[in-house]
Structure formats: C-alpha cells, structure tokens
Amino acid sequence: ASPARPAWPRFDGAALRGQWQPLHGPFAQPMAKGAPAPLPEGAQFLTASYTNHAGTRAYRLYVPSAYHGQPLPLVVMLHGCTQDPDDFAAGTKMNELAEKRHCLVLYPAQTGGANVSKCWNWFKGGDQQRDQGEPSIIAGMTCQVCDSHAVDQRRIYVAGLSAGGAMAMTMAVTYPELYAAVGIHSGLPHAVARDLPSALAAMQQGRAAPLGGDVRTIAGAQAVAAIVFHGDRDTTVHPGNGDQVISQCMPPTAAQRTKSAPEP
C-alpha cells in the first residue's frame, strides 16, 4: 500500500493590502543573465503559475527525461535579485543535475510588481508568516506541483541565493512539515528585519536577532536540516548572517550551547 498522503498546508490568511515597497541598495545589484542548456530528449521545462489570496507568481518546472510517473524528489530553487528562473537554472546548472540525479526542480519567479528589483520580500513582516504573503504563494506552488506530478513527499527541499536564501530560510521555518531540508547561499536568518532600514542593517552588520523574540517561539519551528554557504569576504551580506542562519537551524539546546560558548 502506498504511504498516506500528508495534509498540505491550508491557505486561509487574509489578503495582503497596501503597496509593495521596492528594495534598493546592495540586494539590487545585477546578477549574471543566461539561458538553460538545451533539453535532453524526453525532458521538459514547463511554464505555469500559481494564484492564492496573496497574489500570483509564475514558475518554471524541470521534469527530467527519466520521469515516467514515479515519485521523484522535488527541489524548490529561489533566485536572487534581478534574476528569473531561466537565469537561475543557467547559473546553478540544476537542470543538468536533476537530469543526472532524477529529481524535479521548481523555480518560482518573483515579479517586478511585487519588488522592483525582483527580490523576494524576505524583510517584510507580511512576507514572514505562514499562510501569508510570499511564503503562502511558494508553499502553495510547491503543493500544486505535488498535485500535478508524482513527488516523493519525504524529499521536498527548498534552497535559495541571497534574497532567495533569506526567503528559503523563512520557508523552512514557516512550513517545516513540507520541506525536509533547506539550502542557503549568502542569505540571512528568518525575521531579522521588518522593513528596508532594518534589512540593510542586518545585511551590513550580520548580528541581528529575530525581531520579537526567538524564532522558535515566533514560528514554533524545530531544528531544520540545512546546508549553508557564505563567503567570508562577502561585502553585500555580512558573513555573520551565515553564522546566524546556522544557529537558527540548530536544535534549541545546541543553539544555546553555541551562544554561551566563550569567544576564541
């Protein structure tokens, strides 16, 4: 018998109101443009969209040639500022890896209407909560792919770069039952900003604590399986943010031991 399907998140939050605040500054630096490699025979790179109370986002979905209806892992890839799914697929070569490793890859697309630089709005309070804003869209999009394709529900992952890395962390915190692990490259912890000034401060200083208390109290999150990459000479997102991300992903007891350890 096939395993019981888990209950997907319910999206019944209030619709977002007000104007989106565009992000300027370091996160808005342009990134390399590119096009994904030609598709192998039998593979697909589909275009679709998802809509809920918080808005609509397009996405690309890579389906490897080895897919014939059997459950495969799913990796959700959140691009950086000024990028789109095609840029991100080209730069990360995730489609080529998915072809070799037999997994589906979902690339959500941020819009210029939501953020003028196409950054995920990780720094806005309305986009840091379960069933609200962009987290509800990305989670709903993930579930939509699970409905349209066979997905191994124990192996759904989320990863991102820069602003996408910060949003990937938010996804892991707000939907821990949906994502088995998170990958963060040059990102920031969850809920260290509520607006543009606090976002820039967190990016530059790299030592901000989650606003309003411990992240596990805020979101009820447990330890999150994670892989974190952050260059120690990063001048855009302070490397201290990588340390903070790791601390946020630890079990509470391990995180407490890390905080109480003496400085070297």
Give catalytic residue positions.
Answer: 162
Task: Report yes or no: 236 and 26 within 8 Å, Cβ to Cβ.
Answer: yes
240-249 helix and 252-260 helix, angle to the nearest 10 degrees: 140
Residue 128 phi/psi, 5-degree rounding, is -125, 10
CB 133 within 8 Å of CB 127: yes
d(CA 6, CA 215): 25
| Residues with Cβ within 8 Å of residue 71, at least 6 apart in sequence | 150, 151, 152, 153
Residue among 133, 217, 201 at smallest CA distance from 167: 133
Burial class (CB in 10 A: 0-12, 13-18, 19+), 222: exposed
